[in-house]
């Protein structure tokens, strides 16, 4: 498929996990991708994975730093000829914030990276996103936004905020016919998922998370490529009637809880 031939795509978190897989997917479907991430090494790895390295450009960004986001979007717009057809907010941070030992600096960092940063990035990219119905903004949230995640209140709150904001942004951008869709994954095998599991090892009610089982068993945990496929669909013309509605991609965990 070449659903994105001639399209320009801006992706955050493009150095690993879902963001990396999404960059690979879009380029395989004909797009030119401008990948943003903190890790220069990870971005270099992504470049080596794509079908056509000439269609992958990259730039450093710190989603916790406003000036860094502004500079990154400016660099993307200049490199892509002033047109950004698709924006994918995928970068995120997962940190435990148990309420009985709250680290307020962690709360601020999580909120900035997972919620404030994506809003700032969209705002900066907006002048470069064509109106008319062929453009899309895809915000990758989390099932934690609508499901209890003990010790992860700040993370869950930031993702719930991103989902809610996506609905409002869709209304604001309706006159331009720019779609905004949130995707909420769970149980995807990435480094972030591994870090999340490590942080929960000491949780007293650990059996809570053991109940979040996939319908087909843990050996069938989702892969980053699976999410990349959903993100590509969400941004494509095939999904042109999908707007302001959350897609939960979780392997059936909610049904099994």
233 found inside a domain: yes
2 found inside a domain: no
3 found inside a domain: no
Question: What domain range is 126 assigned to?
Answer: 8-256
Number of domains into which the chain is organized: 1
List the CATH number of the domain containing 226: 3.40.50.720
- Which residues does the chain have with pLDDT short of 70? 189-220, 256-257
125 found inside a domain: yes
Q: Which residues pair with 57 in a beta bridge?
A: 34
1 found inside a domain: no
150 found inside a domain: yes
Q: What is the pLDDT of residue 198?
A: 58
**pTM reported for the whole predicted model:** 0.93
Q: What is the pLDDT of residue 222?
A: 85
Q: What is the pLDDT of residue 255?
A: 74
152 found inside a domain: yes
- Using DSSP, state whether 182 is helix, strand or coil: strand
Q: Which residues pair with 7 in a beta bridge?
A: none
Q: What is the pLDDT of residue 148?
A: 86
Active-site residue identified among 155, 203, 209, 241 = 155
Is residue 155 annotated as part of the catalytic site, yes or no?
yes
Q: What is the pLDDT of residue 209?
A: 62
In angstroms, rounded to a whole number, what is the distance separating the alpha carbons of residues 171 and 166? Answer: 9
138 found inside a domain: yes
């Amino acid at each position: 498929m070449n659903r994105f031939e001639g399209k320009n795509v801006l992706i955050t978190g493009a150095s690993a996990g879902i963001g990396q897989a999404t960059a690979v997917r879009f380029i395989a479907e004909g797009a030119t991708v401008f990948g943003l991430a903190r890790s220069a090494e990870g971005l270099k790895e992504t470049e080596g994975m794509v079908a056509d390295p000439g269609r992958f450009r990259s730039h450093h960004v710190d989603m916790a730093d406003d000036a860094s986001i502004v500079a990154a979007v400016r660099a993307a717009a200049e490199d892509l000829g002033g047109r950004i057809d698709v924006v994918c907010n995928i970068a995120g941070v997962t940190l435990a914030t148990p309420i009985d030992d709250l680290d307020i600096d962690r709360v601020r960092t999580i909120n900035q990276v997972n919620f404030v940063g994506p809003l700032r990035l969209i705002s900066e990219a907006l002048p470069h996103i064509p109106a008319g119905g062929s453009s899309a903004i895809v915000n990758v949230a989390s099932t934690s936004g609508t499901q209890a995640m003990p010790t992860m209140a700040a993370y869950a709150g930031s993702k719930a905020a991103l989902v809610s904001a996506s609905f409002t942004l869709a209304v604001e951008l309706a006159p331009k016919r720019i779609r905004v869709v949130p995707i909420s994954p769970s149980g995807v095998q990435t480094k972030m998922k591994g870090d999340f599991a490590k942080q929960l090892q000491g949780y007293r009610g650990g059996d809570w998370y053991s109940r979040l089982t996939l319908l087909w068993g843990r050996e069938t945990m989702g892969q980053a490529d699976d999410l990349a496929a959903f993100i590509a669909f969400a941004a494509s013309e095939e999904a042109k009637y999908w707007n302001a509605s959350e897609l939960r991609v979780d392997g059936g965990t909610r049904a099994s809880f």
